Chains A and B, each alone.
Chain A
Amino acid sequence: GIQVEQSPPDLILQEGANSTLRCNFSDSVNNLQWFHQNPWGQLINLFYIPSGTKQNGRLSATTVATERYSLLYISSSQTTDSGVYFCAVENDMRFGAGTRLTVKP
């Protein structure tokens, strides 16, 4: 099956810093989603992004399907951004291992 790799596995930031999370996938996908899992386990859908770039406030995402990767950008990070960020590819909804983000005040 398709392989999904996320990097970095862990990321510690100071509040206000910017960051880039990466998601590589091993085969063509119909779609890709980014999620934020909060401390209570709820998965928040951040972006549904088959290709191109989308922005939502301080977050933006870019998927380059032909090169099999997607990037999630977080600008001016806040402590509430802490949690685990997952990408999942749509063909069979496989999840990457996630990036655990900690934003320190």
Chain B
Amino acid sequence: GAVVSQHPSRVICKSGTSVKIECRSLDFQATTMFWYRQFPKQSLMLMATSNEGSKATYEQGVEKDKFLINHASLTLSTLTVTSAHPEDSSFYICSARGAAGSPYGYTFGSGTRLTVV
């Protein structure tokens, strides 16, 4: 089946530093990947849609200069949280869609728990 690998699973960083999160589709090509954040006991909020070879599409209210998304290949998208602050602490999850007609729909990474201290 379709597998999405997300790293790191946990990261603690100091306020003001940047953190990069990687999302890889291991056994399929993903022209589109999605990035979500989830606060405790809440649902997943779509942050942005990452398109291979083009700029990401950000949801309203998401700062594109703070959450940099790069989708340089068909199997890798990265999310960089720049100048992180404690309020950026959250659970970040990526997902990728398989090929058209795939029975797997969207597959999610295992998530990254970011703590900014």
Residue numbers of A with Cβ under 8 A of B are 31, 33, 35, 40-43, 45, 48, 86, 88, 90, 92-98
- Residues of the B chain whose Cβ atoms lie less than 8 Å from the Cβ of A48: 103-105
Tell me the complex Cα distance, A19–B43, Å: 21
Given A42-B111, A98-B43: A88 touches B93 (CB 8 Å cut-off): no
Supply 28 A–B pairs (Cβ within 8 Å), ascending by A: A33-B105, A41-B38, A41-B91, A41-B110, A41-B111, A41-B113, A42-B111, A43-B95, A43-B111, A45-B105, A45-B106, A45-B108, A48-B103, A48-B104, A48-B105, A86-B43, A88-B44, A90-B105, A92-B46, A92-B49, A93-B34, A93-B95, A94-B46, A95-B44, A96-B43, A97-B42, A97-B43, A98-B43
* Residues in chain A near residue B108, CB distance under 8 A: 35, 42-43, 45
Main secondary structure of the interface of B (DSSP, over half): strand
With A31-B105, A90-B106 already in contact, the answer to whether A43 and B46 are too (CB < 8 A) is no
Q: A35 to B108: give the CA distance in the assembly, Å.
A: 10
Q: What are the residues of chain A within 8 A of B49 when measuring CB–CB?
A: 92
Which residues on the A side are within 8 Å of B93 (C-beta)? Answer: 41, 43
Whole-angstrom distance between the Cβ of A23 and the nearest chain B Cβ: 12
For A43, the chain B residues whose CB sits under 8 A away are 93, 95, 108, 111
Q: Does B15 contact A (CB under 8 A)?
A: no
B75-104 interface mask toward A, CB cutoff 8 Å, 1 = contact, 0 = none? 000000000000000010101000000011
- Determine how close the nearest CB of chain A comes to the CB of B55; give it in whole angstroms: 17
Let me know if B107 is at the binding interface, CB within 8 A.
yes
